[in-house]
Amino acid sequence: MLIVEDEYIIANDLELILGEAGYPVIGVADSVAEALALMDQQKPDIVMLDIYLKGKETGIDLAKQLEELSIPFIYISANDNKSVLEAVKATQPIGYIVKPFRGKDILTTLEISRYRHAHSVEMKLREEKVLQIALTDALSAPGSWEQKLLNAAMLLQSLVPFDFLSIQSQKKGTSQLFNYYRVGFDEYQIINLADIHQLTNITPDHLLMVETGDVLPGPVRYSEENFLNFCEKSRLGQLLAKNFRLESAMIMPLNVGLVDTFFITFLSRKPDVYLSGHLRLLERLEQPIVLMLERVLAFEEVARLSEQLKRENNYLQEEVKTLANFEEIIGRSQRLLRVFDQVTQVANTNTSVLILGESGTGKELIARALHNLSSRKDKILVKINCAALPATLIESELFGHEKGAFTGAIEKRIGKFELAHGGTIFLDEIGEMPLELQAKLLRVLQEKEIERVGGKTPIKTDVRVVAATNRYLEKEVAEGRFRMDLYFRLATFPITLPSLRERPGDIPLLAQFFAQRSARKLGKPFRGISETVLNELINYSWPGNIRELENVIEQAVIINDGQSPLTLGRPLINSLFSTALSGTMSQPDASFKLGNSTPKDLQDVKQIQQETERDYILAILKQTNGRIRGNGGAAELMNLKPTTLEYRMEKLGIRKVLSAQPPGSSFGIN
Ligand X SMILES: Nc1ncnc2c1ncn2[C@@H]1O[C@H](COP(=O)(O)OP(=O)(O)OP(=O)(O)O)[C@@H](O)[C@H]1O
What are the residues binding ligand X (CB under 6 A)?
329-331, 357, 359-365, 428, 470, 546-547, 550
> CB 378 → ligand X: shortest distance, Å?
22
Give 494's strand partners: 354
Measured at the alpha carbon of residue 454, what is the angle toward residues 450 and 459, in degrees to the nearest 5?
A: 25
Paired residues of 182 in beta bridges? 188
Provide the minimum distance between the beta carbon of 482 and ligand X in the complex, in angstroms, as a whole number: 16
Least Å distance, CB 461 to ligand X, is 24
With CB atoms as reference, the residue minimizing the distance to ligand X is 362
CB of 492 to ligand X, least distance (A): 20
85 or 329: CB nearest ligand X: 329
Residue 88 or 386 with smaller CB distance to ligand X: 386
Report DSSP state, residue 177.
E
Minimum Å gap between C-beta 366 and ligand X is 7
Sheet hosting strand 220-223, strand order edge to edge: 187-191, 174-184, 164-171, 260-268, 248-256, 220-223
In Å, how far from its chain's centre is CA 394?
17
Please say which residue, 51 or 381, places its beta carbon nearer to ligand X: 381
Query: In the Cβ-directed half-sphere of 260, how many Cα atoms lie within 13 Å?
Result: 17
In whole angstroms, the minimum distance from the beta carbon of 465 to ligand X comes to 16
Whole-number minimum distance, CB 546 to ligand X, in Å? 4
Q: Are 494 and 454 in contact (CB under 8 A)?
A: no
- Minimum distance of ligand X from residue 515's CB (angstroms): 12
Closest residue by Cα to residue 465 from 488, 447, 490, 446: 490
Q: At a CB cut-off of 8 Å and minimum separation 6, what does 423 contact?
A: 371, 376, 379, 380, 381, 382, 463, 464
Calculate the alpha carbon distances from 264 to 79, 282, 365 in Å: 40, 10, 51
Nearer to ligand X, 581 or 657 (CB): 581
Cβ nearer to ligand X, comparing 332 with 460: 332
Q: 361 or 461, CB closer to ligand X?
A: 361
Residue nearer to ligand X on the CB measure, 196 or 369: 369
Contact 421, 382 (CB under 8 A): no
Residues in Cβ contact with 194 at an 8 Å cutoff, skipping those fewer than 6 apart: 204, 456
* Nearer CB in complex with ligand X: 436/474: 474
Q: CB nearer to ligand X: give 11 or 367.
A: 367
What would the DSSP string read from start to end of 494-557? EEEPPPGGG-GGGHHHHHHHHHHHHHHHHT-----B-HHHHHHHHHS--TTHHHHHHHHHHHHH
CB atoms closer than 10 angstroms to residue 474:
12
**H-state helical runs in 52-188:** 59-68, 82-90, 103-140, 145-156
Cα gap 16→13, rounded to integer Å: 5
Closest approach, Cβ 147 to ligand X, in A, equals 45
